């Protein structure tokens, strides 16, 4: 069975600094996809970044990048130059190829301090 674990319930970062959110996952599949989603307070969830497991290169989207360690089954999110608008819940999710079910972690609440 797929599992996704986010061990940091809450993180804080100073504005303009860098923060890394952790995520580990477990799957028996060799082909899968990993995602980070952001859920701002009282707003809908949006995609931050997506990684295909067969790609060794880490995905990047502007200030957001991942550190994908396939052997360790680790998928951390790095946010550079943190902004006040980055404050949100961040969810890590996985999807194994050939299945329909996305599995989400319990989330990390990110606070950005001015």
Partner 1 sequence: DTGVSQDPRHKITKRGQNVTFRCDPISEHNRLYWYRQTLGQGPEFLTYFQNEAQLEKSRLLSDRFSAERPKGSFSTLEIQRTEQGDSAMYLCASSPGQGREQYFGPGTRLTVT
Residues near partner 1, by CB under 8 A: 4, 33, 35, 37, 43-47, 50, 52, 91, 93, 95, 97, 100-107
Q: How far is the CB of 96 from partner 1 (least distance, A)?
A: 10
Closer to partner 1 at the Cβ: 83 or 99?
99
Tokens linked to 52: 């295909």
Residues linked to residue 37 through DSSP beta bridges, in sequence order: 47, 91
Q: What is the spatial distance between Cα 72 and Cα 85, in angstroms, rounded to a whole number? A: 31
Centroid of chain to Cα 112? 17
Residue 82 or 96: the one with the smaller Cβ distance to partner 1 is 96
Tell me how far, at minimum, the Cβ of 17 lies from partner 1, in Å: 25
Q: Could you tell me the smallest distance in angstroms from the CB atom of residue 54 to partner 1?
A: 11
Pick 16 or 46: Cβ nearer partner 1: 46
DSSP 3-state helix, strand, coil percentages of the chain (rounded to 5)? 5, 55, 45
- Three-state DSSP state, 92: strand
- The encoded tokens of residue 101 equal 């079910």
* CB nearer to partner 1: pick between 29 and 81: 29
> CB of residue 94 vs partner 1: minimum separation in angstroms?
11
């Amino acid at each position: 069975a797929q599992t996704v674990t986010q061990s940091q319930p809450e993180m804080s970062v100073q504005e303009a600094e860098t923060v890394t959110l952790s995520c580990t996952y477990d799957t028996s599949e060799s082909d899968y996809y990993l995602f980070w989603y952001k859920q701002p307070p009282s707003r809908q969830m949006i995609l931050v970044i997506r990684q295909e497991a067969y790609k060794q290169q880490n995905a990047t989207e502007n200030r957001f990048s991942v550190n994908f360690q396939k052997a360790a089954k680790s998928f951390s999110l790095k946010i550079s130059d943190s902004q006040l608008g980055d404050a949100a819940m961040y969810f890590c999710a996985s999807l194994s190829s050939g299945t329909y079910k996305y599995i989400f972690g319990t989330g990390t609440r990110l606070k950005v301090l001015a």
